[in-house]
Amino acid sequence: MKKLIIIIVFLGFAYQASSCSCLYLKHFMKTLKYSEYAIIGKLVEITETDSVPLFGKVGVKGKFKIQQVLKGKIGTSEIEIIGGNGLDCREDLFNLKLNTDYVILLDYDFSLSVCGYNDLLLENGIVHGRINKKKEQIMPLDELVRKIERKKTVVNKL
């Protein structure tokens, strides 16, 4: 019995150590502060990739056609975004739909952020998702763009 309790306690610590420690960024606007890029774009392709040679196809990449860069500087009209593989706390791209517009937050290497809420669905000029609260919302795209511009101005003044 004593061995069972020790094993259960050890597994509890191991699980806690491997869990993502920054999932407290529960909405898009909070995640924006920690992201290098914010873009509006269309997901045009998803492919699996061998990111760890001995373990097969474990990574996922998505090709995005950029319509507008809201934060950061990107000198091309298409980028390849790296999604998670389930082991690195990053979201995978399988949650996104092909040929659909999104507002996406990215890290410096064009990967989805390890922390937070990275994407908002964009349909007919309206964004959908957890914009600035922990529940689903909708907002006109131009209003979101103004909010992002205000956040960039505040960050740049600091």
Output the pTM of the full model. Answer: 0.76
Is residue 49's pLDDT more than 50?
A: yes
Is residue 132's pLDDT more than 70?
A: yes
Tokens of 59: 């990574």
Pick 19 or 155 by higher pLDDT. 19
Strands (E), the chain: 37-49, 59-71, 78-82, 100-106, 119-123, 126-129, 137-140
Predicted pLDDT at 31:
87
Per the listing, tokens 């597994």 go with 11
Is residue 17's pLDDT more than 60?
A: no
Q: What average pLDDT is seen over the chain?
A: 79
Is residue 10's pLDDT more than 60?
A: no
Is residue 55's pLDDT more than 60?
A: no
> 89: closest CA among 65, 111, 105?
111
Tokens of 50: 């061998």
> 27: closest CA among 123, 135, 114?
135
Give the separation between CA 40 and CA 102, rounded to whole angstroms.
Answer: 6
Structural domains of the chain, ranges and CATH numbers in brackets: 23-157 (2.40.50.120)
Tokens of 124: 């007919």
